[in-house]
Structure 1
Amino acid sequence: MTDPQDTAIQPGADLATSGPRRVIQLGETRYTLLGTAHVSAESADDVRALIRSGEFDAVAIELCDSRHHSLDNPDALNNQDLFEIFRQGKAGMVAASLALGAFQQRVAEQSGIEPGAEMRAALEESRQAELPLLLIDRDVGVTLKRIYHNVPWWQRFSLFSGLLGSVLSRQDVSAEEIERLKEGDVLESTFSEFAAESETLYTPLISERDRYMVLRLAEEAPPGRYRNVLVVIGAGHLKGMAEEFETPLPEAPTAEREALEETPPPSKLWRALPWLVTVLVLTGFAIGFSRNTELGWQLVGEWFLINGVLSAAATLVALAHPLTVAATFFAAPLTSLNPTIGAGFVAAGVELYLRKPKVRDFSTLRHDVTELKGWWRNRVSRTLLVFMLATLGSAAGTWVAGFRIAGALFGSSP
């Protein structure tokens, strides 16, 4: 691939922009990197002006397919099957998306500017100008998973509890948070204070995405395919992407790009752990019955009672329907012994059957989740809470009851 060169001849050079620009020349193709502020009406105006200048024959933006779909179809969740979301194990990702969206909504209400307005402007203007639109960012779900796997396990709780606290807080968004949003997107600004001090977080959140977006450009807009490509990115990615352009890109960038999309599989021990717990619990029952029938039934009773009570109590916290609470109480002790199905799945399924979300719940979902009590008021978000809390309650019940069984068999108290 042709060596890159910075050039002072900029497309639309007569148009002043509020954000920085960097132009990279690769062969016959010129890439204009426009660093935007994600909370800025001026950045949106910059994008509109540059596209309307007629200098560009393609537009690339810092969005992935899923975020593009959400931006282009803000009511997309209305058409999703919630039961399928739970069945496919996507409840956590949907909840995280709603939480980040809540933070974004709070910023919009406080600043009067919708974060990502410049991306929406790029969508609208490229469509009107009939220009190819290239989505070059990595899927947000992949980024979150790579963050999760890259951060040591003992730091994950503080990291994601900090994320949860920041997006659910009802305090005004600080000036510092808004300033961080001007450099990066909602995900980056939420993790920025952690990323600044953690290379393990910075790598998947920032530097990998810099490289990924350049590789996507090498795939979708290689030198010679277009004349001038406008690349709309957050200002925080401008320096990193320009540096990536300075190193020769591979002739076949797809392999490296796919490597950056991989998520490490769970360790064999982690995958085997649920089955190991099942074997240990059933072995405990067998040992109890082998000693005497009364002890065996005592262990079985404690297992059912502890697991059922903690799981049912968790669904009560989520304000689940009384029948959902009852169903969870009876299901949790059984699902805890069957790693193929979880108590959360059963609880959410019953809750969906008893309290089907209405059209209003979908239409007000993004607004409702901007405040803590809204998660309980809206039937969609409440069902997500039922799923997650029932899952946590069952996990807690499994460990507490497991230690009770061990204590009864081996003489140690829990």
Structure 2
Amino acid sequence: MSVVENTAPDDADKASTLIREIQLGETKITLLGTAHVSRTSAEEVEALLDSKQYEAVAIELCPSRFDALNNPDRLAELDLMQVVRQGKAAMVMANLAMAAYQQRLGEQLGIEPGAEMRMAVSQADVHGLPVVLIDREIGVTLKRTARSLSWWRRAVLFTGLITSLISREEVSEEDIEHLKEGDVLETTFAEFAHDREDLFQPLIAERDRYMAAKLRAAAAEHPGRSMLAVVGAGHLKGIAMHLGDTDDPAETAKLLDSVPPKTKWPKAIPWIIVALVFTGFYMGFSRNPDLGWQMVRDWVLINGGLSALGALLAAAHPLTVVTAFLAAPITSLNPTIGAGMVTAAAELWLRKPRVGDFGRLRQDTTELKGWWRNRVSRTLLVFLLSTLGSAAGTYLAGFLIYDRLNS
């Protein structure tokens, strides 16, 4: 494998692009490192493909992001109830928040992040070149990232992502410089992550290996073709290094596509809590029926009240708020179903999203009030906030029951 490196001018808007030409057997791969917020990067992609030196184009996109690029109206096909049932509500909210962040960048800088990828796809179509998608699915990346963190760090990760990305404050100069140097996904998380060590492996290093494996597989499948690979500048060094790996690229990609299993013991926690609550009720009624009924009232008022408060904060329909109050004390005693699933179903039945809500979803979620205005995103908020309220109520009521038994 031979490597030839050329560095473009180190100018702020001129992208600080980097080109590496790597020979893999009969295939020459030209790695073009780009800045995701530079107009010059998109122009350079266009110029290189117009030169007609290349017979294939590889881009730093996964199938779902590529589909979103080509089918921006795909959100209109979103089945909200299915999303909630499958436990994907938080993932959808995170994706919407990241899209909002990138939209905010576009408004501030006058160019849509990822314009160079759009240009690569467009020019590949113009010149009749095959497009190779080399990045890992964003859902897998986010899941592997979550698995690498403690439950507390995961909570901080999700909360920070939602609260900071929907902010209307201008993106800082430091974040813009990060984007010029590297990766949109990494920078999105870096905005609120103080320590990125535990994020680096799944967000950057693993994707370097994954994209290199995909390029090696493409080179073996189409020997002799000259290929242009358009990637973020932050991935250039890692990809170039891993292109020299000798392991089976298909096995490497399969390994990095797998999601580590969840730790089993946390699954037992909800059942333990339920057992403790029922034990508390039994002990209370055994001592004094009045004490037992007081515990039941505490359980209903605290659990139902906090879940209803969450639904209220999400601007749910009044009947959904009532549903949250009635459902949470019951669902908290059945770990197989959550309060959020019931409240989301109620909200969908009472306020079914309109076609226009799906069409405006990406735009509405770029501002804080838009999350409440749009019926789709508001349903997701109802699910999230009523679930958090019920969870908080479970622990608070549990502690109160314990306190009454010991008083």
> If the length of structure 2 is used for normalisation, what is the TM-score?
0.93
Give the match for residue 52 of structure 1. 50
Give the match for residue 315 of structure 2. 319
> What secondary structure sits across from 2:83 in the alignment?
helix
Report if aligned partners of 2:219, 2:225 keep a CA contact under 8 Å in 1. Answer: no
Q: Which runs of 5+ in 2 are unaligned?
A: 7-13
Give the match for residue 393 of structure 1. 389
Give the match for residue 10 of structure 2. none
> What secondary structure sits across from 1:362 in the alignment?
helix
Report if aligned partners of 1:59, 1:132 keep a CA contact under 8 Å in 2. Answer: yes
RMSD across aligned positions (CA): 2.1
Give the match for residue 292 of structure 1. 288
Equivalent in 175, 178, 185 of residue 176 of structure 2: 178
Equivalent in 214, 237, 252 of residue 239 of structure 1: 237
Matched pairs, number: 401
Cα drift, residue 368 of structure 1:
1.2
Cα drift, residue 401 of structure 1:
0.8
Q: Output the amino acid matched with 2:2.
A: Q
Runs of 4+ displaced beyond 4 Å: 193-197
Q: 1:302 to 1:30 in 2, by over 3 A?
A: same
Report if aligned partners of 1:57, 1:226 keep a CA contact under 8 Å in 2. Answer: no
Q: Output the amino acid matched with 1:376.
A: W
> What secondary structure sits across from 2:261 in the alignment?
coil
Q: Output the amino acid matched with 1:375.
A: W
Does 1:359 find its partner at 2:355? Answer: yes
User: 1:270-349 maps to which residues of 2 (within 5 A)?
Assistant: 270-349=266-345
Cα drift, residue 255 of structure 1:
2.1
Report if aligned partners of 1:18, 1:42 keep a CA contact under 8 Å in 2. Answer: no
> What secondary structure sits across from 2:228 in the alignment?
strand
Report if aligned partners of 1:126, 1:133 keep a CA contact under 8 Å in 2. Answer: yes
Q: 1:207 to 1:332 in 2, by over 3 A?
A: same
Does 1:371 find its partner at 2:367? Answer: yes
Q: Percent identity?
A: 57
Does 1:77 find its partner at 2:78? Answer: no
> What secondary structure sits across from 1:307 in the alignment?
helix
Equivalent-residue separation in structure 2 for 1:8 and 1:177 (angstroms): 27
Which whole-Å deviations, capped at 9, do the CAs of 1:238-292 have from their partners, x for residues lacking one? Answer: 111112123x321x22222222122222222111111111122122222222223
Equivalent-residue separation in structure 1 for 2:191 and 2:237 (angstroms): 19
Equivalent-residue separation in structure 2 for 1:320 and 1:263 (angstroms): 34
Give the match for residue 249 of structure 1. 246
Q: 1:322 to 1:257 in 2, by over 3 A?
A: same
> What secondary structure sits across from 1:222 in the alignment?
helix
Equivalent-residue separation in structure 2 for 1:392 and 1:350 (angstroms): 17
Which whole-Å deviations, capped at 9, do the CAs of 1:367-407 have from their partners, x for residues lacking one? Answer: 11111111111111111100100110010011011111111
Q: Which runs of 5+ in 1 are unaligned?
A: 10-15
Further displaced range: 342-351 or 285-294: 285-294
Further displaced range: 68-77 or 212-221: 212-221
Equivalent in 106, 115, 118 of residue 117 of structure 1: 115
Equivalent-residue separation in structure 2 for 1:368 and 1:151 (angstroms): 31
Equivalent-residue separation in structure 1 for 2:240 and 2:363 (angstroms): 38
Equivalent-residue separation in structure 1 for 2:118 and 2:361 (angstroms): 21
Equivalent-residue separation in structure 2 for 1:155 and 1:80 (angstroms): 29
Report if aligned partners of 2:15, 2:38 keep a CA contact under 8 Å in 1. Answer: no
Report if aligned partners of 2:302, 2:396 keep a CA contact under 8 Å in 1. Answer: yes
Q: Output the amino acid matched with 2:364.
A: D
Does 1:262 find its partner at 2:258? Answer: yes
Cα drift, residue 103 of structure 1:
0.7
> If the length of structure 1 is used for normalisation, what is the TM-score?
0.91
